[in-house]
Structure 1
Amino acid sequence: MFFSCNDSFKQVQKIGISENEPIGVEFNSNIKYTDSGRVSANLISAKMLDYSNRDFPFYQFIDGVTLYVYDKENKKSTVVADNAFVYNNTDLIDMQDNVVITTHDNRVLKTDQLFYDQRKEWFSTNKAVSFKTDQDIINGNGFDSNSKFTNAEVLEVTGIITLED
């Protein structure tokens, strides 16, 4: 008879859990992200699935998600989407399906997918976008901007509609 000692806690945690199933489900999530004591983002969702049992752990937010992003002057921009994935190892939030950003100065971006890099405080996508400013509606394929939207740029512009007052 042979015995061995090892740290099998992670294996014990996985007993009875399919690798394709979440390890937990949470309702009415309200998660705040801070940077040097300042709230930089706030994610709110009706339902969260916890896949932290995977090799590349993530959380999936379904049934609607709202992300408030605050710049250093505490100006708030709002991102809403049908779904989101948060990858804690990379500080990346992947918002998907009917994504709409409303900036603190009422510019509006619409797309099907948008990434938010929490470390760099940067938004980006390579999907089709429509970006409404005070003067124009700009359509294109891709978007890049910091969280202040001071350098928002539509990439591969396919059309611009100038608005009249």
Structure 2
Amino acid sequence: MQVTDILEQHNNLFFLVLCLLIIAGISSCGDLSQEESQQVNDALKDSLTSSTETWDMDMEIMEDGQKKVRIWGSYAATYANDDQKETRIKGPVTVHVFDSVGTVKTKVFSNRAVYKPEDTIFELFGDVQVETRDNRHLDSEYLEWNQSSNNISTPKFVIIKTPTDSIAGTGFEGDTDLVDYTIKEPKGRVTVD
């Protein structure tokens, strides 16, 4: 018998043993208990997050075929897993809110924003400015807008300016038109006619 024949038989034997080990390994994986299988699946779900990136983002939110919101930002990243989905937008961020006839009723500007579509909530951060078509203006460093209820709120300091007066304070809740609102801790002078 030649050396090449011995090596060939040795390689064949090695290949056969390797295949048997692989088959045994695969078949033993099937013997996981139902609880162990669930733990493996849960661990995989936690680690499975999809993401997309967009530069020069321009997004419209429609409801019943009608444009409700339009958002612009320099960059957006959307992260999604089984538990949540959110879009993080870097600014400058501009948001236009439309009325029922498609006219812009409110404009919002900020440094960055987070949109959570399942909850229909926008969080706006850094130099937040709200301007309405009735010349009402709000400034704050943070604002949360619940699109479903059309309410905005912040626990932070706010300044509201209207054509007739201005008021400042900490803690704000109101509508996007800045007509009906409450400031929890008002500060400054108020003139009442």
Q: Which moved more, 1:77-86 or 1:61-70?
A: 61-70
Shift of 1:150: 3.1
Counterpart in the other structure of 1:125: 154
Shift of 1:68: 0.6
Looking at structure 2, the residues matched to 161 and 147 of structure 1 have their Cα atoms a distance apart, in angstroms, of: 22
- Is residue 85 of structure 2 the alignment partner of residue 85 of structure 1? no
Q: CA 1:49–1:160 in 2, change beyond 3 Å: closer, same or farther?
A: farther
Aligned residues of 1:44 and 1:66 also touching (Cα < 8 A): yes
User: How many pairs are equivalent?
Assistant: 155
Q: Deviations over 1:79-116 (max 9, x none)?
A: 00001011122111000110000111111100011111
TM-score (norm 2): 0.69
Counterpart in the other structure of 1:97: 126
Could you tell me which runs of 5 or more consecutive residues in structure 2 were left unpaired when the two chains were aligned: 1-23, 31-36
Equivalent residue in structure 1 for 2:96, among 65, 68, 81? 68
Q: By percentage of residues, which structure has more helix?
A: 2
TM-score (norm 1): 0.80
Q: CA 1:63–1:75 in 2, change beyond 3 Å: closer, same or farther?
A: closer
Aligned residues of 1:71 and 1:148 also touching (Cα < 8 A): no
Q: By percentage of residues, which structure has more strand?
A: 1
Aligned residues of 1:136 and 1:160 also touching (Cα < 8 A): no
**RMSD of aligned Cα (Å):** 2.8
Could you tell me which runs of 5 or more consecutive residues in structure 1 were left unpaired when the two chains were aligned: none
